[in-house]
Structure 1
């Protein structure tokens, strides 16, 4: 299959209590794409009727746009998975969309041809802040990195990527870990990198809008170490129910090793079941990982600028729990083996 101006695909948009003016801008920017052969599926994470009526009213009955009827709240990770389950078989490609950005008219047209060579392509965005549309940076400066570095720190933002539909055969269902680091774009990027390839291009294809309601912010993600600690402590209260030192260490482990282990283990199992064997580049984070491999991946990533210092520090903070759990598993296995001797 060739990915060109005739290729039909799906824009998968996850919506949750949108700010209506931003939502209107985003919908219009999708509607006005120069590549027009698509269906836009909008999964409303609650408030279905309100979102449906708004879309119908604003887009004048454009039949390419369909709001899926759900009332249950899943959160952004589950909502993206839900909308991807409804992508029709005839779609050749999928573009992910947030509810509050603004695509440039040629975004899809510019990115689609790259899918002739790779499974997923991601671009850059200009970052603007509301109110006032203040330009914070002209580009998100995402990078092309190897799989191990990509596992360590994501370089693919969902709203900036387009991927082949057949990537869902490997990626669905999404793996699970109850932490904010569980994100759909990271998982899809890892799946693509391990199989058909993932490419990050320098094209700036949209405005990435920062405002008070962002689930995951762009510039806010470039935290100092002090702010990173406050962030981890807040997440510890949310996900662990406590901000005790032990709870903070567990949260740091979930944010770092935990989520990477979930992805690496899921990828290893799924590729093995599909007859693809083992994939190179996940050894630093799979269950039972070698500390030599882990240290090399993190050290080189930090030195090359592929892993930011706050992310590196989260890994360091996650080490005590990682060592404890690895030793616990080792002792359990030894005890089980000893029991089998009798």
Structure 2
């Protein structure tokens, strides 16, 4: 049986310390029909030299785009735009993780049963800088992935995500203002949950390397967890960031939505000038975050008109 092509989309920036190990883990996948396209986002270290050296030996399986520093969101969208439209599946890939050998095979098996825009994501094994396992992260979703969740929370780790051709075409069907997006993976979750199917796999598919500024933390007290959730939620909600992303989605996709999805979306992006209006909104909103704590934080931020 001929396997359908999978294209891995790797965005790099000053990744000389880890990118070779990541590419090796892609080479070692049990799924055989994989091609890699890397886009370098203006690295100032030896990342491009490493990629070109690998390319010189494997040009039949690897392509390289060298670009200006436009940031991670636009970099991944450029990868999508230049991706092979004959591939069946596309994997987002970070430069500093390591993929477990059956990552692609498991994702393809899950997605192959779906005939509409679809996205797969999984948990990860959090690891230290030298890949010693720490714990499974993040916690599994309490509720199923949903458009009502995606509007106010991203539960999908982008480095684990795999999408099918229908999802790729959906994401490329509109000219998006990237400045209004929280992240490329969050945008994918919003779009695909609105028009297709999102599949979660509780089994880790990658070693999610922690180093420097990307550390997500270990054991915390309850008070610390509350403080961190509040800090994170305010970071993504400040300056109406959640609403900006939702408005961007409404601008391009509202006419395609079901009546119920569109109604919930428009209630969310509508200004609420008085406390009475905010209370009324919370009574009719179906939007949710995955934990009881985060749902209470969402309600508080609505009531104080922060979102």
- Common fold by TM > 0.5: yes
Match of 1:43 in 2: 39
Shift of 1:148: 0.4
**Residue 263 of structure 2, aligned match among 258, 283, 293:** 283
Gaps spanning 5+ residues in structure 1: where? 237-250, 272-276, 324-342
Instruction: Look at both structures and tell me which one has the larger radius of gyration over its CA atoms.
Output: 1
Match of 2:177 in 1: 176
User: Following the alignment from structure 1 to structure 2, what is the Cα–Cα distance between the partners of residues 79 and 117?
Assistant: 30
Residues 239-295 of structure 1: per-residue CA shift (max 9 Å, x gap): xxxxxxxxxxxx6242333333433443314x2xxxxx5354353343338965655
User: Following the alignment from structure 1 to structure 2, what is the Cα–Cα distance between the partners of residues 84 and 48?
Assistant: 24
Match of 2:301 in 1: 317
Would you say how many aligned residue pairs link Structure 1 and Structure 2?
288
Tell which has more relative contact order, 1 or 2 (C-alpha 8 A, sep 6+): 2
Match of 1:129 in 2: 128
Q: Assess, with a 3 A threshold, how the Cα gap between structure 1 residues 32 and 284 changes in structure 2: closer, same or farther.
A: same
Shift of 1:315: 6.1
Q: Does 1:120 align with 2:128?
A: no
| Secondary structure, aligned partner of 2:151 | helix
Q: Does 1:301 align with 2:281?
A: no
Shift of 1:49: 9.4
1:10-21 correspondence to structure 2 within 5 Å: 10-18=7-15, 20-21=16-17
TM-score normalized by structure 2? 0.79
| Secondary structure, aligned partner of 1:203 | coil
Report if the CA contact (8 A) 2:126-2:208 is conserved: yes
TM-score normalized by structure 1? 0.72
- Taking only aligned residues, the RMSD between alpha carbons, in angstroms, comes to 3.3
Shift of 1:149: 1.7
User: Following the alignment from structure 2 to structure 1, what is the Cα–Cα distance between the partners of residues 134 and 238?
Assistant: 29
User: Following the alignment from structure 1 to structure 2, what is the Cα–Cα distance between the partners of residues 49 and 21?
Assistant: 10
User: Following the alignment from structure 1 to structure 2, what is the Cα–Cα distance between the partners of residues 48 and 35?
Assistant: 33
Shift of 1:322: 6.7
Shift of 1:25: 1.4
